[in-house]
């Protein structure tokens, strides 16, 4: 006697055996359950294929069909007639529905997946404001609790709703009000001479002819010249003032100005600066722009100094809106940088 084996859905399935008498064979085994759907909308697993038993050699009833398994019912096939005998008497029955599990929804990107996430401020989450929408607090969504705050009522920016792609943002009026939010110094905001990444969704209208001509989107820097640290400016304070963005790691040598001009038109964009080794790159929307390299990177830790958002005390007031800030301490892989950029571009329809 010889055994027939079939491979179905990656598993060995035993079929019926050829018999020497008129009795029917053992039934065939069903196919394996289908794999659960993966990603996005959960879907049922695919059905395994039932395998027919073979009829006996001398006439007798055929075997029953194997049972199938998977996400949906897939009837088994009827057994074949014996090679030398009568017609089949029992048709193969349908396989039972398998128990394939639905796939889990695909995980969408979120900034908290980034290794080294140091700061994540999102204007749609964690805002503390009064009835006039004046903001006294903005909660950091990273694990470091680098919360931004402004306890002085006269210096509080304002929450505005549905301002960038139907989402809220923080408005800084820039009219010498010294509107700003401050974040106390912390170890996670001291980036040393290492890599870092800073991305901000913002819009601004600082003009070149009026005061204030340029505003501070983000700044953590030493109190004295050359003000070593990380600053991202809306309009750059060169002479003459320039209507692109600018990054400054010190005021003597490590300055970088975008060649993209006329960004002070009030349109929301993604602005960024990142350091990789001795290379610093500016970003506007999803495009890397100006790149500059130095022989040795500055230590941008600025210990015991806060982060300023919107202005520094008394000067550099931003006229515009900030919707989201994401900062990472350490190297950001090309894949993670692209994912974060796409996340912010899509979220705000930039």
Q: In this structure, are 271 and 175 located in the same domain?
A: yes
pLDDT tens digits, residue range 185-221?
999 999 999 999 999 999 999 988 877 889 999 999 9
Give me the pLDDT at residue 120, please. 98
- Give the mean pLDDT of 170-179: 86
User: Same domain, yes or no, for 118 and 193?
Assistant: yes
At 129 the pLDDT is 97
pLDDT of residue 178: 87
pLDDT tens string 260-311:
889 999 999 999 999 999 999 999 999 998 898 888 899 999 999 999 999 9
- Do you find a cis peptide bond into 212, omega within 30 degrees of 0? yes
User: 341: helix, coil or strand?
Assistant: helix
User: Could you tell me which residues come within 8 angstroms of residue 274 by beta carbon, excluding any fewer than 6 positions away?
Assistant: 195, 196, 197, 198, 280, 281, 283, 332, 337
Shared domain for 75 and 142, answered yes or no, is no
Check: CB of residue 48 under 8 Å from CB of residue 8. yes
CATH number at residue 314: 2.60.120.200
Average pLDDT for residues 80-102, to the nearest whole number?
Answer: 40
DSSP per residue, 156-216: --EEEEEEETTEEEEEE--SSS---EEE---GGG--TTS-EEEEEEEEE---SSSSS--EE
If asked whether residues 326 and 246 sit together in one domain, one would say yes
Cα dihedral 285→289→292→297 (10° resolution) = 10
pLDDT at 348 over 90: yes
Query: 76: pLDDT confidence band, cut at 50, 70 and 90?
Result: very low
Owning domain of residue 307 = 111-347
Instruction: Quote the pLDDT of residue 239.
Output: 67
Last residue in a domain, options 70, 105, 140: 105
Residues 2-31 have pLDDT tens digits of 333 333 333 333 333 333 333 333 333 333
Rounded CA-CA distance 148/128 in Å is: 10
What is the share, in percent, of the chain residues with pLDDT greater than 70?
69
**220 and 95, same structural domain?**
no
Confidence (pLDDT) at 242 = 83
At 137 the pLDDT is 98
pLDDT at residue 176, as a whole number = 62
Residue 51 and residue 69 share a domain: yes
- Whether residues 144 and 59 fall in one domain: no
12 shares its domain with 132: no
268 and 200 within one domain: yes
pLDDT digits (tens, 9 = 90+) for 36-65: 333 333 333 333 343 333 333 333 333 333
Q: Dihedral sign for Cα 331, 335, 339, 345, please.
A: positive
* Residues 242, 55: Cα–Cα separation, whole Å: 87
Q: Are residues 48 and 87 in the same domain?
A: yes
Instruction: Give the sign of the dihedral formed by CA 5, CA 6, CA 12, CA 15.
Output: negative
3-state SS, residue 113: helix
Q: Are residues 122 and 36 in the same domain?
A: no
> What's the structural domain count of the chain?
2
Joined together, the tokens standing for residue 193 give 């001479």
Return the pLDDT at 179: 94
Give the domain-ending residue among 59, 77, 105: 105
**Structure confidence at residue 210 (pLDDT):** 74
Mean pLDDT, all residues of the chain: 77
Which tokens in the block code for residue 287? 């495009």
Residue 177 confidence (pLDDT): 74
For the record, the structure tokens of 337 come out as: 């940088």
H-helix or E-strand spanning residue 290:
strand 287-293
CB 332 within 8 A of CB 199: no
Specify whether the CB–CB gap between 219 and 288 falls below 8 A.
Answer: no
* For residue 70, pLDDT beyond 90: no
Which region, left, alpha or beta, applies to residue 104 given φ > 0 means left and ψ of -120 to 50 means alpha?
beta
| 115 shares a domain with 101 | no
Domain boundary among 105, 132, 155: 105
pTM of structure:
0.70
């Amino acid at each position: 006697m010889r055994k027939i084996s079939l491979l179905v859905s990656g598993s060995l399935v035993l079929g019926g055996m050829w018999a020497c008498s008129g009795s029917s064979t053992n039934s065939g085994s069903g196919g394996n359950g289908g794999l659960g759907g993966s990603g996005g909308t959960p879907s049922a697993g695919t059905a395994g294929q039932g395998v027919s038993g073979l009829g006996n050699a001398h006439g007798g009833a055929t075997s029953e069909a194997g049972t199938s398994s998977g996400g949906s019912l897939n009837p088994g096939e009827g057994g074949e007639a014996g090679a030398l005998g009568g017609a089949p008497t029992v048709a193969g029955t349908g396989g039972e529905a398998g128990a394939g599990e639905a796939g889990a929804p695909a995980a969408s990107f979120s900034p908290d997946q980034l290794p080294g996430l140091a700061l994540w401020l999102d204007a749609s989450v964690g805002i503390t404001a009064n009835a006039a929408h004046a903001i006294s607090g903005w909660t950091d969504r990273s694990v470091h609790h680098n919360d931004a705050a402004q306890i002085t009522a006269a210096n509080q920016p304002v929450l505005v709703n549905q301002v960038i792609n139907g989402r809220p943002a923080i408005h800084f009026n820039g009219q010498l009000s010294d509107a700003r939010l401050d974040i106390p110094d912390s170890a996670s905001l001291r980036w040393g001479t290492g890599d870092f990444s800073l991305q901000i969704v913002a819009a601004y209208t600082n003009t070149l002819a009026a005061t204030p001509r340029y505003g501070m989107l983000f700044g953590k820097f030493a109190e004295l010249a050359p003000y070593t640290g990380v600053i991202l400016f809306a309009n750059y304070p060169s002479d003459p003032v320039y209507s692109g963005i600018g990054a400054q790691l010190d005021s003597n040598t490590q300055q970088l100005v975008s060649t993209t001009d006329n960004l002070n038109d009030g349109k929301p964009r993604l602005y960024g600066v990142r350091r990789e080794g001795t290379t610093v790159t500016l970003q506007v929307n999803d495009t890397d722009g100006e790149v500059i390299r130095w022989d040795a990177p500055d230590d941008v830790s600025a210990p015991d100094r806060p982060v300023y958002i919107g202005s520094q005390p008394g000067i550099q007031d931003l006229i515009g809106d900030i919707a989201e800030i994401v900062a990472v301490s350490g190297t950001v892989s090309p894949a993670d940088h692209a994912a974060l950029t796409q996340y912010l571009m899509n979220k705000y329809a930039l």
